[in-house]
Structure 1
Amino acid sequence: MPTTPVDIFWTFLVGSIGLIGMAWVVIAITIRNQRKQLEAERERREVMQHSAHKYADLFNNVSDIIFIHSLSGEIQQVNDAVTRELGYDIREIIGQTIHDFLPAQYNTRLDTYLERIQTLGSSGGFVTIRAKDGEIKIFEYRNSLVREDNKAVAVRGIARNVTEHHVAERKLRQSEERYRRFFEEDLTGDFIATPSGEILAGNPAFANIFGFESVEQALQYNFASLYARRSDYEE
Structure 2
Amino acid sequence: MNNSNLSSQQYFRILDSLPEHVFIFSEQGEYLSVFGGQENKVGSDCKEYIGRTLFDVMPADMASQFHQFITKTLDSNQSQTVKYHFNSQHLQDLPFGSEQHQDLWIEGIIKPFVMDDGKRVVIWTARNVTDKHYMEIKLKELSETDALTGDLKSSCFYGATVLIA
Percent identity over the alignment is: 22
Of 125, 129, 132, the match for 2:86: 129
Q: Is residue 101–residue 130 contact of structure 1 (8 Å, CA) maintained in 2? A: no
Q: What do the CA deviations read for 1:164-205 (whole angstroms, capped 9, x no partner)?
A: 1001111221233332862658xxxxxxxxxxxxxxx9xxxx
Which consecutive residues of structure 1, in runs of 5 or more, have no partner in the other structure? 1-46, 186-200, 202-235
Write out aligned runs for 1:13-162 (5 A): 50-81=6-37, 85-100=41-56, 102=58, 106-121=62-77, 122-130=79-87, 132=94, 133-134=99-100, 135-148=102-115, 151-162=118-129
Name the one with the larger helix percent: 1
Q: What do the CA deviations read for 1:72-109 (whole angstroms, capped 9, x no partner)?
A: 11111112426953123544221232345556764442
Aligned residue pairs, count: 139
- The whole-number CA distance in structure 2 between the counterparts of 1:155 and 1:74 is 10
Q: Is residue 24–residue 121 contact of structure 2 (8 Å, CA) maintained in 1? A: yes
Residue aligned with 2:151, SS: helix
The TM-score with structure 2 as length reference comes to: 0.65
Q: Is residue 66–residue 157 contact of structure 1 (8 Å, CA) maintained in 2? A: yes
Which consecutive residues of structure 2, in runs of 5 or more, have no partner in the other structure? 89-93, 156-165
Q: Is residue 75–residue 94 contact of structure 1 (8 Å, CA) maintained in 2? A: yes
- The whole-number CA distance in structure 2 between the counterparts of 1:112 and 1:93 is 19
Q: Is residue 139–residue 160 contact of structure 1 (8 Å, CA) maintained in 2? A: yes
Residue aligned with 1:168, SS: helix
The TM-score with structure 1 as length reference comes to: 0.48
